[in-house]
Amino acid sequence: GAGVSQSPSNKVTEKGKDVELRCDPISGHTALYWYRQRLGQGLEFLIYFQGNSAPDKSGLPSDRFSAERTGESVSTLTIQRTQQEDSAVYLCASSLAGQVGAVVGYTFGSGTRLTVV
């Protein structure tokens, strides 16, 4: 597609329920990233996929969070047993491969605003 597509754009869920967020990256972008942005805060790295390599999960805040990616296409971020502290905008970004020395910027999707009530 022309840009990074995320769905849903807004999600309100009850505490304790599971949610699934979807990201469709730019075609040809092998790298895909998930970040979280709480209200008035900066971007917090969650997880990173690069081609067929094992994902970098170092930013996931707890074992309630998981993500998958099918090849070099769609990714889903799943949050189990949601808590109010999970309320945030979840941003997905994609880029060309992060090769050594390359200056590769990300293109962000418009985000999913998650509200846990």
Partner 1 sequence: QKEVEQNSGPLSVPEGAIASLNCTYSDRVSQSFFWYRQYSGKSPELIMSIYSNGDKEDGRFTAQLNKASQYVSLLIRDSQPSDSATYLCAVKNSGNTPLVFGKGTRLSVIA
Positions that interact with partner 1 (CB under 8 A): 31, 33, 35, 41-43, 45, 48, 50, 53, 56, 59, 91, 98, 100-111
In degrees, rounded to 5, the angle at the alpha carbon of residue 82 between the alpha carbons of residues 78 and 87 is 95
Closer by beta carbon to partner 1, 15 or else 57: 57
Please give the Cα distance from 73 to 19 (Å, whole number). Answer: 20
| C-alpha R_g of the chain | 14
Closer by beta carbon to partner 1, 13 or else 59: 59
Q: How far is the CB of 9 from partner 1 (least distance, A)?
A: 11
> Hey, what's the torsion of the CAs at 87, 44, 33, 9, to 10 degrees?
30
Q: How far is the CB of 81 from partner 1 (least distance, A)?
A: 26
What one-letter code names the amino acid at 35?
Y
Closer by beta carbon to partner 1, 13 or else 106: 106
Please give the Cα distance from 19 to 116 (Å, whole number). Answer: 10
Q: How far is the CB of 69 from partner 1 (least distance, A)?
A: 14
H or E element that contains 31? strand 31-37
Closer by beta carbon to partner 1, 14 or else 40: 40
Q: How far is the CB of 30 from partner 1 (least distance, A)?
A: 10
